[in-house]
Amino acid sequence: MNVLVVGGGAREHVLVWKIAQSPRVDKVFVAPGNAGTALMAENLEVSPVDFEALGRIAKDRDIALVVVGPEVPLSLGIVDYFDGLGISVFGPTRAASRIESSKVFARDLMRKYGIACPEGGVFSSYPEAREYLRQRRLPVVIKADGLAAGKGTVIASSMAEAEKALGDIMEAKVFGAAGDQVLIDEYLTGFEVSLLAFTDGKTVVPMIPACDYKKVGDGDKGLNTGGMGSYSPPGFFPPELVDKAVNAVLLPAVQAMADEGTPYRGVLYAGLMVVDSELVVIEFNARFGDPETQVILPLLKTDLTDIFMSVVRGNLDQLKIEWDRGACVGVVMASGGYPGSYETGFPISGLHDVDRDALVFHAGTKMGAGGEIYTGGGRVLTVVSRGGDLTEAREKVYRNISAVSFEGCHYRKDIALRETN
């Protein structure tokens, strides 16, 4: 079978890498892909939101399965489009993907169905939001309702910082229409974890939990990013908490979506806070996480294509999904200036100097005419290593990342450090 992966980041590189291992797969196409995916699949210069062009490609190349990586095409209805063409597609429909594309929708769903979430308010009026804000205890969490590339959440420790964030989102519209509504939430203290699961709308199968790092600097300092690294599995989230999360969060959410007339199929990602052994949902995402996917899928033993087809066909309960033991740590290498303004086009050296068992997943990269690889985005690479435990995996990833370089590159030095002290 031929498979089309939609997207061009490190998450999609991982998906291509894993799908290509399947004996069922003849060829993998990626739209648009990057320099890394070009080494193992055929890149296509097509936007992830150009559905008609993607549809023509799917028919011309006899695509049997479409796998959607990013949230934007999901929110615009790419799954509905391919369903209409009669082509198997992995991911939630436009209506179901609102669980990510609208934080207000997700919050209303959780409150209606008794899924634990932070206390807070929802506002479409800036004066009302500002008045509510001035009555809250600091720090507070301010979230834009819509998609903002992982940067629409601000934790404000002072009233000046909170009012600036609120004004930026609602008045200055720094995130566009995503800021038409905001949530102002209580600030929770605890351990944060990402728990992703496969679901066909009935059965829910959790993946290995992971932790990601949103802030650009060591010690969680600086601006929010799309993610600067991750590790799996966290020691503070044992199997019994995974089971608890499935029963208290993931299954109820899938059942709630079905009850609302919007069955959910694909990957459901719950961003959870563990507060005194209780679980609170910070957010839902409607797809694989980035950078979590880079440290989760290397531990998957089961054929990923079999999982995708079981989800599409609605018989996930008939498939046993197995995972390797051990741990995985991934560190993102970013362009100088990211998440602010940055330059691209710098050559990347050392990609062939990493250990044979190290993994380098490309995100913002481009290939030159002679096969040279250059930087082409803010997050450039994710370097990943596996080990028997997190200490070994962490040591290996930082040894390997030191072999790779490009002008202005920076990365966090404390990924998974809290688990190894």
pLDDT one-digit tens code per residue, 12-60: 999 999 999 999 999 999 999 999 999 999 999 999 999 999 999 999 9
Let me know if residue 118 belongs to a domain. no
Domain-embedded: residue 110: no
Establish if 102 belongs to a structural domain.
Answer: no
Q: What is the pLDDT of residue 223?
A: 87
pLDDT tens readout for residues 296-343? 999 999 999 999 999 999 999 999 999 999 999 999 999 999 999 999
**Which residues have a Cβ under 8 Å from the Cβ of 407 and sit 6 or more positions away?**
336, 346
Of 151, 180, 209, the residue at which a domain comes to its end is 180
Residues 334 and 304 occupy one common structural domain? no
One domain for residues 89 and 169: no
Residue 355: inside a domain: yes
- The count of domains in the chain is 4
CB environment 285-322: b (16+ within 10 A), e (fewer): bbbbbbbbbbbbbbbbeebbbebbbbbbeeebeebebe
- What confidence score (pLDDT) does residue 420 get? 85
**Residues 61, 27 share a domain:** yes
Which contacts (CB < 8 Å, 24+ apart) does range 130-133 have? Answer: 130/163, 130/166, 132/184, 133/159, 133/162, 133/163, 133/166, 133/184
Give a yes or no: residue 220 inside a domain: yes
- Indicate whether 233 and 282 sit together in one domain: yes
Reply yes or no on whether the pLDDT at 90 is more than 90: yes
CATH number at residue 313: 3.30.470.20
Q: What is the structure's pLDDT at 281? A: 97
Tell me: pLDDT of 172 over 80.
yes
Please compute the mean of the pLDDT values over residues 270-277 and round it to a whole number.
Answer: 93
Regarding whether 350 and 262 lie in a shared domain, the answer is no
Q: How many CB atoms are closer than 10 A to CB 258?
A: 14
Q: Are 34 and 75 part of one and the same domain? A: yes
CA distance 183 to 167: 13
All residues at 6 or more sequence positions from 68 whose CB lies less than 8 Å from its CB, including other chains: 6, 7, 48, 74, 78, 79, 89, 90, 91, 287
Asked whether residue 176 falls in the same domain as residue 223, the answer is: no
> In this structure, are 209 and 310 located in the same domain?
yes
Task: Look over the chain and give the mean of its residue pLDDT values, rounded to a whole number.
Answer: 96
What is residue 316's predicted lDDT score, i.e. its pLDDT?
Answer: 98
Identify the residue whose tokens are 């290939």. Answer: 367
Model pLDDT for residues 48-87, shown as the tens digit of each residue: 999 999 999 999 999 999 999 999 999 999 999 999 999 9
Examine the domain organization and report whether 257 and 151 are in the same domain: no
Give me the mean pLDDT over the 401-413 stretch: 97
My answer on whether 313 and 204 are in the same domain is yes
Given pLDDT bands bounded at 50, 70 and 90, which one contains residue 149? confident
Contact between residue 393 and residue 386 where contact means Cβ atoms under 8 Å apart? yes
Q: What percent of the chain has pLDDT above 70?
A: 100
Give domain status of residue 83, yes or no.
yes
Q: Is the pLDDT of residue 224 over 90?
A: no
**What residue numbers bound the domain in which 406 lies?**
327-420
Instruction: Tell me how many degrees the CA angle 3-8-12 measures, rounded to the nearest 5.
Output: 55
> What are the residues facing 226 on neighbouring strands?
none
Mapped onto helix, strand or coil, the DSSP state of residue 180 is coil
CATH of the domain at 406: 3.90.600.10
Q: Is residue 276's pLDDT more than 90?
A: no
**Which residues are CB-contacts of 45 (< 8 A; sequence separation ≥ 6)?**
31, 32
Mind listing the pLDDT tens digit for each residue in 366-392?
A: 999 889 999 999 999 999 999 999 999
Identify the CATH number of the domain in which residue 132 sits.
3.30.1490.20
Of the candidates 229, 282, 273, 224, the one whose C-alpha atom is nearest the C-alpha of residue 417 is 229
CATH code, 58: 3.40.50.20
Residue 77 Rama label (left phi>0; alpha psi -120 to 50; beta)? left
Do 86 and 155 share a domain, yes or no?
A: no
DSSP conformation letters of 313-351 = HT-GGG----B-SSEEEEEEEE-TTTTS------B-B-T
Instruction: Give CA torsion, residues 236, 240, 246, 248, to 10 deg.
Output: -90
Span 112-133, mean pLDDT? Answer: 93
CA 141/CA 377 separation, integer angstroms: 28
Instruction: Specify the pTM.
Output: 0.96
Q: What is the pLDDT of residue 211?
A: 98
Q: What is the mean pLDDT of residues 211-224?
A: 94
Q: Reduced to 3 states, what is the DSSP secondary structure of residue 101?
A: helix
Residues 195 and 312 in one domain: yes
Confidence check: pLDDT of 151 > 80: no
Query: Of 234, 385, 334, 293, which Cα lies nearest the Cα of 15?
Result: 293
Contact indicator for 279, 236 with CB cutoff of 8 Å: no
